[in-house]
Each structure stands twice: as C-alpha cells, then as structure tokens.
Amino acid sequence: MGSNLDMVLYAESLDAARAAFENAIDCLERHSIPLNHYVAESEVNQLPSLSARSPRPISPVLARAIERSRQWFGWSQGAFDSTQRETIQLWSRARRLKTLPDPEAIQKALQRSTWEKIELREDAQRSMTITHEGPRLSLDVGGLAVGLLLDDMMLAIRESGITSALINAGGDIIVSDPPPNREGWSISVAGLQWGDAPLLNVELRNGAITSSGDLNQFAMIDGVRYGHIIDPRSGRPVSQRRSVTVIADQAIDADAGATALAALGHEESFRLSERMPIREVYYLWLPENETNPHFRTWVYPSVNAPTR
C-alpha cells in the first residue's frame, strides 16, 4: 500500500520465524490487491464501472473494509467518509499543482457521495454483493486499509504459532504479546513539528497504535498552508495544525480513529470518541496565533472488537 514495512518476531527458531514471516507477507499480498487504489485494475478502482441497481459480488476483504467504513461514518458523525473519494482527489491534485480546487467542483463532489446510496448484502451462498443508486460509485478505503491489512497479517502470524510480534507499516503499528521479560512494546508518540522530541512513550501489548496529522503532508498555496487532512463534512482541509494518536484493540480501528479524530478537532473528538472502539487518544493542536501546542489525552476501557 505504498508504506515501508518492518516486522519483529520472537520465535523458538529461525525456521519458525521465517514461516510466520512468509505467511504474513502472503496474507498482505493477497488482501492488499482488492483495496489498492494505486493499482488501476484493483477491485476498489473497478467500483465506478458498476451499473446502478445491479448487485455485484465483491471480495470478503473489500466487503469488510466497506462495512467498517460505514460504521466509522456513523461513529464520527460524518468525519470519516470513504464515499468522498472525489473530494480527496480534488485536494490531492490541488496540493500537487499548488492551486486551489474549483469550489463548485467540491460542492458537486460532496453532493454526489453518500452512504444512503450504497447497500451491502449477503447472498444465498454467503457471498457479499454491493448495490448502489445513482450515477457512479467511487470509494476510498485508504483511511483504514492499512489497519485492516495489519490485523490480518497479525492473525496469520498467530496462526503460525508466534505470539510475540510487532508489525510497523509506515507508522501504523500492531503488536501482540510483549517480548520476553518486558511489560509491553515501547512505542514513541511523535510531537507536532519536525525536530520535536517524542511527546511520550507508551507501553503497548495486544493492540494497535496509529497517528494522523499534517506534519509530513501539506502544501503552501498562495501563502496559505493546506494540510492533507480533509474534513469530508465541509470538503476542505482542516485549518488548525494538529496531530492525533489513537490506540485500539484492532489496527483497523486505530487507523480509522486517527483519521476521524484528526478531522473532528479535539473538542468534538472528546465528545464523540466514547462511542468509538478505541482505548486511548493523545491529541496535540496548535491554536491560531500561538507558538506552543496544547495537549490532551483520554483513556477508555479496552473495547471488545467485533469478530469477523
């Protein structure tokens, strides 16, 4: 999915570690193909070609991504919205060309995309089908795809007999049991700006952690800084500098949670996150006309993640 991948495995032998590693990579290669919006022939990229009102079978992995995306749309009250692919593409192009998108194009993109027009069903053979109303079905599941893949890779490692492992995909991290004689895996939470010391270190076991912010991805357009965090409710990038780190039982929820809370802002995040399947939140933001970032954290009991 375009990220660096690191794995740490504690095994009784090199052969056991190698087998678990190969199983995890095989899982990644199989499950990433349907979700990869960088590959023109991928299943998610073929959705716009579907005829309206005509059920179309889809793979289990894409069905899971779509269904979890729909749930996160509800939990976040629209701040996580995988139907806004066209809006995201307009702003990606704007950052690349250093020119603002047409406001009318943004409004049309917002109006064309809605979960109300999409239906997932299980047919008699227990296969999933998707149906949509309207002229075009376009989804971007990138807000949780890496997390979903990490969950599946860790499951493959567990099924290989290894219970102590860490997988890091470009900063999206999932861990199982801690290394021998350790309480947990020590993971640093980054600050808001380049050169900042780590905000803190967390000891994590059997969970996942993901950060989202505009530290690395932004563009200056007409003297204004535009980050890559798009609020799908307005169709515009968030204006405030912010970084949010989320810990959850599942990587798919840490991934989606960080994306959603980054769009919401700290006040709405604190109000809404209690309903979300996440454990902890670390929120940094820089108020306008201030030089020192503010910090807030909150913790929930571990959530029993839905089975699949």
pLDDT digits (tens, 9 = 90+) for 84-128: 998 989 988 988 888 899 999 999 888 877 788 899 988 766 688
Position 118 in a domain: no
Confidence label for 215 from pLDDT (cuts 50, 70 and 90): low
Torsional class of 289: left (φ above 0), alpha (ψ -120 to 50), beta (otherwise)? left
Q: What is the mean pLDDT of residues 235-261?
A: 94
Position 35 in a domain: no
Alpha carbon 35 to its chain centroid, in Å, reads: 12
Position 89 in a domain: no
Q: Tell me how far CA of residue 119 lies from CA of 48, 57, 116, 131, 223, in angstroms.
A: 15, 12, 8, 5, 43
Q: Tell me how far CA of residue 148 lies from CA of 86, 94, 304, in angstroms.
A: 22, 29, 16
Find the CATH number of the domain harbouring 274: 3.10.520.10
Position 110 in a domain: no
* Nearest alpha carbon to residue 302 among 219, 186, 208, 183: 208
Half-sphere exposure of 291 (CA within 13 A, CB side): 0
pLDDT: is 306 or 223 the higher one?
Answer: 223
pLDDT in tens, 217-241: 677 888 787 878 889 999 998 888 8
Distance, in Å, from the CA atom of 231 to the CA atom of 287, rounded to the nearest integer, reads 18
Looking at residue 220, its pLDDT comes to 81
Q: How many CB atoms lie within 10 A of CB 183?
A: 10
Position 72 in a domain: no
Q: What is the mean pLDDT of residues 282-290?
A: 87
Position 86 in a domain: no
pLDDT in tens, 36-84: 988 888 999 988 877 777 888 999 999 999 999 999 999 999 999 999 9
Amino acid at 57: P
Q: Which domain holds residue 239?
A: 178-299
Per the structure, how many domains does the chain have?
1
| pLDDT tops 50 at residue 304 | no
Position 202 in a domain: yes
pLDDT in tens, 142-200: 999 999 999 999 999 999 999 999 999 999 999 999 999 999 999 998 877 656 778 88
Looking at residue 272, its pLDDT comes to 95
Half-sphere exposure of 293 (CA within 13 A, CB side): 18
